[in-house]
């Protein structure tokens, strides 16, 4: 099978997240030769599946819909030998996700696709996205071990300045405040805020591969406007409003516009406060910037993540 530049473009995007037919159609709008219909996408993806380069799984949320992910054969093409040695045993990269997690995974993937398209059209680099499960920070809250595991970690670069944010895709399944019982403690968004606060305090400087940051923003995607209002009030009550940025799913889950002038008004970059190129490019208020020791090893990697995500294999040590 003769692979085109668009094929390699799709395979590269599959190293970041699984893609549905619609997502493939959308993401290729950032390629010089985009697909023009889902029919064309389905035809080409079937050829890639038949060639053993892509695998797929049916989705429970709609009849006939599929989600595509990378095969190990394709991984040998898009990763270097060293990188492939790190990802070859990955369960996240080379397999589908459980039905019970389908809504969450698809929501995160739609976000990544939308962000990539917006960044490309705005002339902003989007060199890194690390999926959930690859970044894990362990800490202690109230004498008990706690784990911070963002739904994604992303780097955007505008005008030569790299910015870092963590993604939290909120489905309103967590309580606002922790409810403590004799049996167990319920998960809460307040605890999540505490975890990010401890992380920020312990690691004021963060290095991801070639990029170094002295601040970050937690971008939280909310299921509803009321949930957003509640979380904004919670973050403000904990004096962490500056660390968190909140949007609703409806603010970015809409069809991709073809007209650049029309599309600019609906840009996700605008929703998260990333303004370019006229104004200053920043996601973070000055109050959230810090100083401190260099943080070279971001997290343990339980799934043998590729150095493609973090830049070097040196990032694979534990931060705990």
Q: Taking all residues of the chain, what is their mean pLDDT, rounded to a whole number?
A: 75
Greater confidence, 307 or 230?
Answer: 230
Question: b/e per residue, 180-218, with b = 16+ CB within 10 A?
Answer: eeeeeeeebbbbbbbbbebbbeebbebbbbebebebbbb
Q: What is the pTM of this model?
A: 0.74
pLDDT band, very low/low/confident/very high, at 267 (cuts 50, 70, 90): low
Greater confidence, 180 or 76?
Answer: 76
Tally the domains of the chain: 2
pLDDT at 302 over 50: no
Tell me the CA distances in angstroms from 229 to 186, 196, 226, 242, one per residue in order.
21, 20, 5, 15
> Given 24, 46, 78, which residue is the final one in a domain?
78
Range of the domain at 304: 99-316
| 58, 120: one domain | no
| 22, 154: one domain | no
Range with lowest mean pLDDT among 22-26, 170-174, 197-201, 297-301: 297-301
pLDDT band, very low/low/confident/very high, at 259 (cuts 50, 70, 90): very low
The per-residue pLDDT for 74 is 93
The per-residue pLDDT for 96 is 84
pLDDT band, very low/low/confident/very high, at 133 (cuts 50, 70, 90): low
Is there a domain that residue 36 lies in? Answer: yes
Is there a domain that residue 92 lies in? Answer: no
State which of 25-29, 144-148, 202-206 shows the largest mean pLDDT: 25-29
CATH of the domain at 3: 1.10.10.10
The per-residue pLDDT for 146 is 80
């Amino acid at each position: 099978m003769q692979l085109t530049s668009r094929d390699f473009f799709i395979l590269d995007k599959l190293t970041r997240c699984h893609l549905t037919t619609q997502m493939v159609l959308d993401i290729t709008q950032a390629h010089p030769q985009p697909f023009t219909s889902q029919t064309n996408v389905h035809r080409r993806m079937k050829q890639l599946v038949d060639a053993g380069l892509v695998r797929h799984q049916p989705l429970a949320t709609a009849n006939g819909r599929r989600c595509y992910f990378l095969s190990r054969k394709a991984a040998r093409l898009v990763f270097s030998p060293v990188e492939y040695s790190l990802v070859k045993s990955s369960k996240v990269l080379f397999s589908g996700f459980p039905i019970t997690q389908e809504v969450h995974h698809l929501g995160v993937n739609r976000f990544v696709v939308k962000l990539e398209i917006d960044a490309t059209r705005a002339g902003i680099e989007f060199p890194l996205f690390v999926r959930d499960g690859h970044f894990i920070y362990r800490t202690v809250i109230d004498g008990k071990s706690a784990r911070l595991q963002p739904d994604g970690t992303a780097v955007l670069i505008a005008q030569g300045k790299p910015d870092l944010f963590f993604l939290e895709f909120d489905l309103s399944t967590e309580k606002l405040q922790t409810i403590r019982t004799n049996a167990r403690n319920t998960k809460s968004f307040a605890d999540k805020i505490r975890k990010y606060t401890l992380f920020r305090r312990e690691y004021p400087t963060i290095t991801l591969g070639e990029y170094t940051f002295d601040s970050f923003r937690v971008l939280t995607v909310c299921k509803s406007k009321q949930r957003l209002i509640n979380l904004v009030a919670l973050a403000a009550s904990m004096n962490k409003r500056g660390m968190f940025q909140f949007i609703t799913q409806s603010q970015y889950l809409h069809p991709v516009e073809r007209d650049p002038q029309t599309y600019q008004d609906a840009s996700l970059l605008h929703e998260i406060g990333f303004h370019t190129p006229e104004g200053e490019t920043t996601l973070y208020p000055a109050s959230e910037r810090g100083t401190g020791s260099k943080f070279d090893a971001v997290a343990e990697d339980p799934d043998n993540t590729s150095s493609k995500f973090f830049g070097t294999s040196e990032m694979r040590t534990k931060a705990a």
